[in-house]
Structure 1
Amino acid sequence: MGTLQHIQHQISALNDLIKINNDRITGYQKAIEGTEDVSLKTVFEGYADQSKGYVNQLNDYIHLLGGSPADGTTLAGKFYHTWIDVKSAFSKKDSHSILSDCEYGEDIAKSSYRKALDDKELIWEDEKVVSLLTNHLSGLKIAHDAIKALRDSTALNEK
Structure 2
Amino acid sequence: MKMENNSVNAEILNDLIQISNDRVEGYQKAIEELHVEDADLKSLFVEMVRQSHRHKAALVKEVQVLGKEPESGTTTSGKIYRTWMDIKAIFTGHDRETVLNNCEFGEDAAQKAYKMALEEDGLSANLRSLISDQKTELKTSHDQIKSLRDKVS
TM range (shorter): over 0.9
- The equivalent of 2:111 in structure 1 is 110
How many residue pairs end up in the alignment?
151
- 1:25-81 CA distance string (max 9 Å, x none): 111011101112111010011011101100000001111111110000001111110
Distance 2:74 2:13 in 1: 13
Q: Structure 2 unaligned runs (5+)?
A: none
Q: 1:136 is matched with which residue: 130, 134, 137?
A: 134
Amino acid across the alignment from 1:47: M
CA distance in 2, matches of 1:135, 1:120: 18
Identity of aligned residues (%): 39
Deviation at 1:97, TM superposition (A): 1.0
Q: Which amino acid aligns with 2:143?
A: D
Match of 1:33 in 2: 32
| 8 A contact 2:92–2:98 mirrored in 1 | no
Q: What is the RMSD computed on CA atoms of the aligned residues?
A: 0.9
Q: Deviations over 1:65-109 (max 9, x none)?
A: 111100000011111101211221232221111101100100000
Tell me the TM-score normalized by structure 2: 0.95
Residue type of the partner of 1:95? R
**Distance in structure 1 (CA, Å) of the matches to 2:87 and 2:93:** 12
Moved over 2 A (4+): none
| 1:61 alignment partner AA | E
Aligned to 1:11: 10
Give TM-score, length-normalised by structure 1.
Answer: 0.92
Is 1:50 equivalent to 2:48 in the alignment? Answer: no
Mark the runs of 5 or more structure 1 residues left unpaired by the alignment.
none
CA distance in 1, matches of 2:55, 2:72: 13
2:32 alignment partner AA? E
Structure 2 CA distance for aligned equivalents of residues 92 and 71 of structure 1: 31
